[in-house]
Structure 1
Amino acid sequence: MDVIVAAEQRQRAAEAILGELDLIGRWSAVGRPVVVGATSYGLMVAPDLDLEIFCDAEPTAEAGFAVLAACAAHPGTIRAAYSNHLDGADEGIYWKLGFRHQGEEWKVDMWALRHDHPGPLSSSLVEPMRAALTPESRRTILTIKQELAARPDRRCGSIHVYRAVLADGVATFDEFETWRADHDTESLTDWRP
């Protein structure tokens, strides 16, 4: 299947999951939810949905567990997890759902953060990515991400694929592998196009 068509199908599934779980509505009671990652700029390959939730005060486990409890009541939810990283480098609370949609298991990652989180933040990347993408760069990124998904031993964060293509002109998976050998793809980055 063409990578653009596959990404569009994945995008529609992500939007359906957002609606089925009412993630925007539920998290709005806790803070300001923002859809981030590949869903936010139409570069979906993996069944993975990401949100950042910006809270006026420090995020609390209690507020997030209320959201997770409501999501867990949905028959598609097959697992839920929580990790407190308020005292760590991420400075937030991480929530994860396993959700079955049309026979496929999705991972839903959600970070509750303070509204003044120092970053780096995925939400800071959304508008610059949307502005930088062209039909050609979108196809190149999706093709490289699809190659990475087929090779579990070669995975890395998608932001590094975006940076390689948009900042350094990488055009193929082999070029990406060469680029990757000379760049840090393990650390958090605040890169933006």
Structure 2
Amino acid sequence: MIDELLRRQDELQARADAVAADLGLDELLSALGEPVRTGSSAMGLMVVPDLDVTVACPTLDVDAVVGVAARLARHERVRVVRFRKDDGHWNAEPDAYPDGLYLGLTYRESSGTEWNADIWFVDEPARQPDLGHVRELPARLTPETRSAILLIKHSRPDYRSFDVYRAVLDDAVRTPEDYDRWRVTHGQ
């Protein structure tokens, strides 16, 4: 099972790179700031077709982000583009997260597989949790913990990835059953 999950992760990783390249994300997003791949595609922990990018911007510019959304919406493989303001009074958790603007995409590969892409634009990158995760977590991964994370994420697809990472890396959880117990003891 683990060998198959590792093979699938590597395949998804290559496909995530191809999706990002097809959308021209590096060039498009670099016009607004510094794009950083985050989430499972940045850490080699993919179990589903999902791509996360956070763009560290000098300022939040709604018009510029809407312009990016319009360009992405015209791409032949993009079905859905969602825009959300999460700044000012719209930021529901200003103590936990910086102000941001969000684009969510649904992209369909030629095979018919649909990808979700989450793109955040933030002007206080030091306060953005996913940027901290992508800096800190990879150094903590070992072949054993990587395998445990992939197994748990595959077996429990509805749970938040970061909770799985915490359970495995901080509390030595190694199986889906252990993760279920961890969730109970951690009020999940």
Structure 1 length-normalised TM: 0.88
CA distance in 1, matches of 2:22, 2:8: 21
For 1:184 and 1:162, how far apart are their aligned partners in 2?
Answer: 16
Give the CA deviation at 1:65: 1.5
- TM-superposed CA distance for 1:61, in Å, is 1.8
Residue number in structure 2 paired with 1:25: 27
Matched, 1:142 2:150: yes
Q: Deviations over 1:53-91 (max 9, x none)?
A: 11112x122111211222122111001000101021242
Corresponding residue for 2:177? 174
Instruction: Give the gaps of 5 or more residues in structure 2.
Output: none
What is the distance in 1 between the residues matched to 2:15 and 2:113?
10
Deviations 1:105-142 (A, max 9, x none): 1110011100x245242011113211111111111100
Distance 2:72 2:7 in 1: 29
> What is aligned with 1:100?
108
Q: Which amino acid aligns with 1:109?
A: D
Determine if the alignment matches structure 1 residue 113 to structure 2 residue 122: yes
- The structure-2 alpha-carbon separation of the partners of 1:94 and 1:184, relative to structure 1 and needing over 3 Å to count, comes to farther
Tell me, in whole angstroms, the C-alpha distance in 2 between the residues paired with 1:176 and 1:166. Answer: 12
Distance 1:181 1:40 in 2: 29
Q: Which has the higher helix share?
A: 2
Is the CA contact (8 Å cut-off) linking 2:125 and 2:131 kept in structure 1? no
Is 1:73 paired with 2:81? no
- How many residue pairs get aligned? The number is 178
Structure 2 Cα separation of the partners of residues 4 and 65 of structure 1: 37
Consecutive aligned runs of 4 or more in structure 1 exceeding 2 Å deviation: 116-120
5+ residue gaps, structure 1, are: 150-154, 186-193
Q: Percent identity?
A: 33
Distance in 1 between residues matched to 2:125 and 2:165, nearest whole Å? 23
In the TM superposition, what whole-angstrom CA distance separates every residue of 1:135-187 from its partner, at most 9, and x where no partner exists? 111111000000012xxxxx2210110110111100100000000112255xx
